[in-house]
Chains A and B, each alone.
Chain A
Amino acid sequence: MAGPPRGPVAPGRFSVRRRWTLALLTALLAVGVLFSPLLGTVAIAPETVLRILLHQLSSGRLFSDPCAGAPVPPSGCPGLIEIVWDARLSEVVLAVTVGAGLGLSGGTLQGVFRNPLADPFLLGLSSGGTLGTAVVVVFRVGVGEQNLLLPLFAFVGAIATGLVILVAARSRFGSVETLLLTGVALSSFLSAVLALLLVFSPTGSLQVDFWLLGNLGALDWSEDGIVFGVVLVAGTLLVAYGRELSLLQLGSDVAQSLGVDARKVRVRLLLLTSVTTAAAVAFTGVIGFVGLVSPHVVRRIAGNDYRVVLPGAALVGAGFLLAARDLALVAFPGTLLPIGIFTSFVGAPFFAYLLFRRRRASTMGAP
């Protein structure tokens, strides 16, 4: 169970390892980001993709005719540019942002609840968000503005659920066990409400399913930017709580005796994860397994110090989502599958692998 004795260790040795882990993960992610725009439902030669990217980045100064020599679709070179720049690249950025947000949230919740099976949707956020979208769809709220209202209602639905949990966290029912149960109960309740709503509107269920399965595409750059901004700010604050989260693992009492106000920290972390998760999925829908698996990957490499696990989970989550997208495109060329299906498809066996091959003494990895 425990590792072998390792003898004396120079102070600071472990932060060096942390840095190397994060550097490696960042490098891997960078490779993924560079590689992903080459893949898409429309087949485009890599050279053409590169030329288009450089053309756009240099505001047209480089490669005045980026499509020269390449087969163009009916929409011509402008169409190709739109595909590569507006569709693919923004999808890549969104995947990175959403994956990072989910990884961060999952890691944080695993720490707050001291439960290796926690994921960003543990507190019923996915049910709340789905209910929000269902309200828009079933009651035909704001036709004509639905592309903005749907994500807005999803966000509000998810956040509202998070707030219920938060209120519970601040009350005398704020123990970790009670919160967990509250989240599960809330999730079930909201799912039931959702099912009821959809019984009376089967066409609505089509549209809600769309959101439930998760989709990365068809977003504006400015909407990407909103998600990016929120995830960046909330996510950074989450990372900054890494030390407190590590101390919380010792138990609420011990953490308190060392100076960590366990209840206050828990409330803040729950608020931040709710915001991060809600923002990450408001536009894309529910994407599973990313938040669950990413922190475990980091733990396998670098141990359970949350100062590493959180930023690492962000990097791994981003890479994982990107990889899932790329894999789906490679396995089913010319077809676009809902990303949520693929993350589960890839994530579940991967998670099983992680559990069976545990190496460290960390009980976080043990079933």
Chain B
Amino acid sequence: MTDPASPPLRLRALTVRYGERTALYDVDLEVPRGQFLALAGPNGSGKTTLLRAALGFLVPAAGTVELFGSDVLRLSVVERARRVAWVPQEESPRDDVPLADYVLYGRYAHLSWLQGEAPADREEAMRALAAVGLADRSGDGILSVSGGERQRAILARALVQESPLLLLDEPTSHLDIGHQLDLLTRVRELSRERGVTVVAALHDLNLAAKFSDRIVVLSRGRRVADGSPSEVLSEELLARVWGVVADLRRDPRTGAPYLLPHHLVPPASPVPGTFLGRGPVHVIGGGGAGSPYLRALAEAGYRVTAGALNLLDSDLETAESLGALTAVEVPFAPLGPEVRERLRALLTAAAAIVVAPFPVGPSNLPNLEEVRGVLGRTRLLLVRRPVGPEWDFTGGRATELLDELRRHGAREVGGVEELLEFLAGELGVNAAAPSA
């Protein structure tokens, strides 16, 4: 029948296409028993598609979906219903069916063809209603109750299906904050107390972080992150996948990470203001070396960001006076992990990065290290500087890094004018053209 060792859900190289569009590409996923997994990702990233594939609603272009070891498409519809239950994103019932009956519909997979419901089935339904806190509303119609109660009733229906795997598609999208917490708390209880494996598509990363054991992030049909909430949640991820600049905090009560969004990564807009219409220009500087570049770029009409700088740095003053976003660290301290996160986010968001001729010491060396991390993705411009100890206080490490950058396609410019000229020349050139 089913292999007790098989995971409740396993996707192997799953690829799903809708006509020309690829909704999921080569996704591998294995969900162990009893885990509460949150599927996250922007709209259109493939979360719903993944769930629908798991339910056997569509035929993949490649790869397989296995429920407890069996290919979902080879199972009969009833067998599928016995293994996996579904709470859809929205359901529009046509008739005002009483909740008791509505929930009872979930027993279908356990009834044989001509049999009516046994008292045991009805008890099951009442228990499920009690489990979601609707026991005293069992006579009310599904259309008469509030959206939150309806969603809970649907959850109860999924419960009476007695399926060991539960899939929820954005179950909180139509709920107010109280109901969101309520529903997810109950789902988590289910997972913890009854061993139900839960896979929930959640658009709210913070809720996902708060309630789930594991988060898998999808972006444009690919799996881009997978791990515990602490592992997965980062400012860089939010910038890269969602295009949002945020601050990462920690919930003082639970220690769970949460993200405070600020605004969008500056969206594509026509010149001027952004380089090639894709983003601001980021200036890495310090000790006043970045200021002339910041001012010149801003005057030329570009939006600028800067970092990482310490609180007392004059470049920071310049940046803030220009209204630029910054990554800031306390003075004399090495770059902390949060600041590095932030820097990474800014670097990712930038369309061009300018490394001003600032003095590099151990505390701001990580700036260069982070730049190396975004190699190949954006235009990288280094302002020429003489070789020598006047600016390299890292025992040669900074020089090595700059060399490396140069080797990997960073371009050198002599000064502000050359920089501006270069940027202006790049305008109108195909963004895909090689930079050096």
Contact = CB atoms under 8 A, between A and B. Distances in A.
Interface of A: 1-9, 11-15, 114, 240, 243, 246-247, 249-251, 253-254, 256-261, 264, 303-305, 360-364
Given A2-B96, A362-B94, A8 B137 contact: yes
Nearest to B81: A259
A117 to B, nearest CB: 14
A236 B85 CA distance: 31
Interface stretch (B39-47, B97-105, B171-179, B296-304): B97-105
B85 A257 contact: yes
B123 interface: yes
A329 to B, nearest CB: 38
Contacts of A114: 94
Interface stretch (B140-148, B181-189, B283-291, B389-397): B140-148
A363 B93 CA distance: 9
Given A8-B135, A8-B138, A259 B144 contact: no
A261 B78 CA distance: 8
B18 to A, nearest CB: 14
Interface stretch (B106-114, B202-210, B335-343, B415-423): B106-114
**Which of A7, A257, A304 has the most chain B CB atoms inside 10 A of its CB?**
A257
Interface in B64-96: 76-78, 80-82, 84-86, 88, 91-96
B143 A258 contact: no
Contact of B141 (A3, A246, A254, A257): A3
A361 B94 CA distance: 8
30 contacts: A2-B144, A3-B141, A5-B144, A6-B98, A6-B139, A7-B136, A7-B137, A7-B139, A11-B100, A11-B126, A15-B116, A240-B114, A243-B108, A243-B111, A249-B94, A249-B95, A250-B93, A253-B57, A253-B88, A258-B109, A258-B157, A259-B77, A259-B78, A259-B82, A259-B108, A261-B78, A264-B77, A361-B143, A362-B94, A363-B94
B80 A4 contact: no
A361 B141 contact: yes
Interface residues of B, number: 48
Contact of B100 (A1, A9, A363): A9
A362 B96 contact: yes
Given A361-B95, A364-B95, A5 B140 contact: yes
Given A253-B88, A257-B86, A7 B140 contact: yes
Given A5-B144, A364-B95, 15 more contacts: A5-B145, A9-B98, A12-B122, A13-B139, A243-B111, A251-B92, A253-B57, A256-B56, A257-B84, A260-B77, A260-B108, A361-B95, A361-B143, A363-B95, A364-B94
B317 to A, nearest CB: 58
A250 B136 contact: no
Contacts of A1: 143
A254 B88 contact: yes
Contact of B91 (A11, A250, A360): A250
B96 A361 contact: yes
Contacts of A11: 100, 119, 122-123, 125-126, 138
A362 B97 CA distance: 9
Contacts of A2: 96, 141, 143-144
Contacts of B108: 243, 247, 258-260
B80 to A, nearest CB: 7
